[in-house]
Amino acid sequence: MTGQSSAPRLDGRRVLVTRAAHQSRELMAALADLGADPVACPVLEIEPTDEPTPDLEAFDWVVVTSPNGVDALADRLGETPWPDGTRLAAVGAGTAARAERQGWTVSLVPRTASGEALGETLATFDLAEARVLRVRGDLAPAVVEQALTTGGADVEVLTAYRTVSIAPPPDVVEALERREIDAVTFASGSAITALLAATSELDLPGWLPAACIGPVTTTAAQAANWARVVTAEDTGAAAIAAAVAALLDPDA
């Protein structure tokens, strides 16, 4: 899939978007560009924590593993500029793009958009006695900091935000009950857990095709016994929409 012009169409297909409302606009637009009827179904909300923000100048690296982490850190920094001597590592293209919109320079993005790959890539640097700030949410696994600590880094963790499950809109649940939704998109394992908890009697994994952002999310869907699941080629909205189209294409 090289672009929307070569991707299968989604004319008339109803696609559930489970991202938080403030993060879903680009994906909703990309799905609509392929003819889909995108259905907003946020199942998570992001809340800031009250943990104090350390001085970034004290660190050699700052590691961010989600766009939510970028947003949370940007809110904390306000108008404070990024310090010249501190390098920034981002988990994937979407997180890097969000950071660059803040005017921050991203020094490292691993080839594979996963926390494991980011930790392993950073560990190839000389991290002996390096100070690293890991910015994360409350549900993030500790694989990044474990890899960095193994590499000799002095790692400090800033849990900048927490993820809270919210109930899907009642009209969306009704549409799922009638099986009037053709596919669902997931950006995290937390979104999968939240949607399944709210629709436990509907057997969504058995009949609803899912397009996931990143291999970690796909693994979570497979662990939930999702029958039809695909991983988008990258984290961009166009790639996710194209993955949905390929998933629903009868000739794919």
List, in order of start, the domains of the chain with CATH numbers. 8-43+166-248 (3.40.50.10090), 47-163 (3.40.50.10090)
Strand order in the sheet with 183-186: 37-40, 14-17, 183-186, 210-212, 229-231
Please tell me the pTM assigned to this model: 0.78
The mean pLDDT values, 10 residues at a time, for the chain of 252 residues are: 58 95 89 97 94 97 93 96 96 90 95 83 87 94 89 94 94 97 95 96 97 91 96 87 90 57
Contact by Cβ (8 Å): 132, 148: yes
Q: What pLDDT was estimated at residue 12? A: 93
- Return the pLDDT at 4: 42
* Amino acid 39: pLDDT: 97
- 135 pairs with which residues across the strands? 64, 158
Q: Identify the pLDDT of residue 250.
A: 64
What local confidence, expressed as pLDDT, does residue 2 receive?
37
Asked if residue 234 lies in contact with residue 212, where contact means CB atoms within 8 angstroms, the answer is: no
**Alpha-carbon distance 141 to 99, whole Å?**
21
The pLDDT of residue 5? 45
